[in-house]
Amino acid sequence: MKQILIAILVAVLFLFPACQSFSQPVEDTAVSFEKETVLTQETAEPVQTVNPTNEPIEPTQKLTLKPTETPEPTSTEKPTETAKPTETVKPKQTSSPQPTTQPTVKPTEIPTPDPTAKPTPEPEVEIVSVSSSYINAAMAEINRLRKENGVPPATYSGSISSSCQSHAEKMAESGSPFHASGTYMFEAVGRASRHMSGGTMGGSAANHVVQLQSEEVTKIGIGAVYYGDYVFYVVRGD
């Protein structure tokens, strides 16, 4: 900057006398020219002095001096602004969705079915053997009928009576009378009212199987059981 100002001052000092010379008459110009020539001779090599002539000297074209452009001061670069650190944007906290409260579903009440009334079981019917007096009454009635027909009385057989008792129980279990296959000569089976007496039962059997009253039969076996309201009986002759 100082060098530029010094150059401007030197130029002004140099051009200022020249400007005055243009404004003076021609004669003054010649005189000043001589002075300059003399000064030049003193400082430099001797120069030939130009004699002034009487002819008028045409004025030299005036030079229009342009003002020296003052250089614009160099713009001082502004320091680069330090970039501010970008603020880190914190993510907004997302509110956690609250669980939707669902209505509590009450279980459907299943109506308790009324207990089915169980039928009262009937009392178990037991098979009951008849008494020995019942058997004796039946045997006596059979021999009575045999005697009327002139036939000697038959003998009571315990072994035959045992088989008759077993078959009578089977008939009671089945609920109906039926004949059994065997080696016996004659057999009478039946079901009668529980209130039937032994004598009546023996007479019914002897009348049903008339062979029980014949001389062919010498041994007789009797079996009978009570079952509910009935009496099941078996009479066999051998």
29, pLDDT greater than 50: no
What is the reported pLDDT for 205? 93
pLDDT at 36 (0 to 100): 45
Q: How far apart are CA 225 and CA 53, in angstroms?
A: 202
- Quick one: average pLDDT of 75-86? 59
Distances, alpha carbon 146 to alpha carbons 142, 156, 233, in Å: 6, 14, 20
Number of C-alpha atoms within 13 angstroms, CB side, residue 225?
Answer: 24
| Residues in a beta bridge with 221 | 236
Rounded to whole angstroms, how far apart are CA atoms 162 and 179? 16
pLDDT of residue 43: 43
Q: Is the pLDDT of residue 144 over 90?
A: yes
Q: What is the greatest pairwise CA distance in the chain?
A: 232
**pLDDT of res. 31:** 39
**Which DSSP helix (H) or strand (E) runs through 33?**
helix 26-43
Which alpha helices (DSSP H) does 57-215 contain, by range?
132-148, 158-174, 198-208
Helix (H) or strand (E) holding 11: helix 2-23
**The pLDDT value given to residue 44:** 45
pLDDT at 45 over 80: no
Mean pLDDT of 191-215: 93
